[in-house]
A and B are shown apart, each in its own frame.
Chain A
Amino acid sequence: GAVVSQHPSRVICKSGTSVKIECRSLDFQATTMFWYRQFPKQSLMLMATSNEGSKATYEQGVEKDKFLINHASLTLSTLTVTSAHPEDSSFYICSARALSGHVWDTQYFGPGTRLTVL
């Protein structure tokens, strides 16, 4: 299947700092990229949907000023957790999907980023 990478895989930061996570689709151009958050032993929670060159669409309850998303190209999206606090510690996963005509292809996921805020 297609490959989606995320960087970094693990990051530890101090409270109040900002952290940027990159998501890249390595072998296909993604129409849309998605950002998820996952708490231990729980399912994925969609945070936002991101399309190249346009503003991200955030899910209800997700602070757009807290979680800044930039989608610079068809293969790169970034999530910046601004002024991180310990409650932002979580596993963040991105995914990418291509639209072929009117049909959505498989959604491929990155390996995730473990964020720990001290």
Chain B
Amino acid sequence: SQQGEEDPQALSIQEGENATMNCSYKTSINNLQWYRQNSGRGLVHLILIRSNEREKHSGRLRVTLDTSKKSSSLLITASRAADTASYFCATDARSSNTGKLIFGQGTTLQVKP
């Protein structure tokens, strides 16, 4: 079942601009992960942020987590055409210890050169 909502569903920006994607979820979580998927490919792991963390950086990526609002955001700075892809957030429900992830619907990002 999908518990995550992501917005926007689609985002189109110019190269060099920043892209922000948001994810909301419904239940308490242990951690939240962001993935990227290029068309027809598997998912590439970007960042894992644990429930006791508020912000995490990796290169041009910045992820925030607000557990009180049950939301997370992914910021890509200085975007490049190669960042064009779909981005998904996925959560580990605290109530379950199966390792299962619940995925959001994804945001399709297009970066125009």
Q: Which residues of A are interface residues toward B (Cβ below 8 A)?
A: 1, 4, 6, 31-32, 34, 41-44, 46, 49, 57, 91, 93, 95, 97, 99, 102, 104, 106-112, 114
Contact = CB atoms under 8 A, between A and B. Distances in A.
Contacts of B41: 111-112
Contacts of A93: 42-43
A78 to B, nearest CB: 17
Given A104-B30, A104-B99, A106-B48, A43 B88 contact: yes
Nearest to A5: B42
Contact of B105 (A34, A43, A46, A107): A43
Interface residues of B, number: 25
A107 B42 contact: no
B92 to A, nearest CB: 6
B100 A46 contact: yes
Interface of B: 2, 30-31, 33, 35, 40-45, 48, 88, 90, 92, 97-101, 103-106, 108
Given A43-B103, A44-B88, A107 B45 contact: yes
Given A49-B98, A104-B30, A106-B48, A43 B104 contact: yes
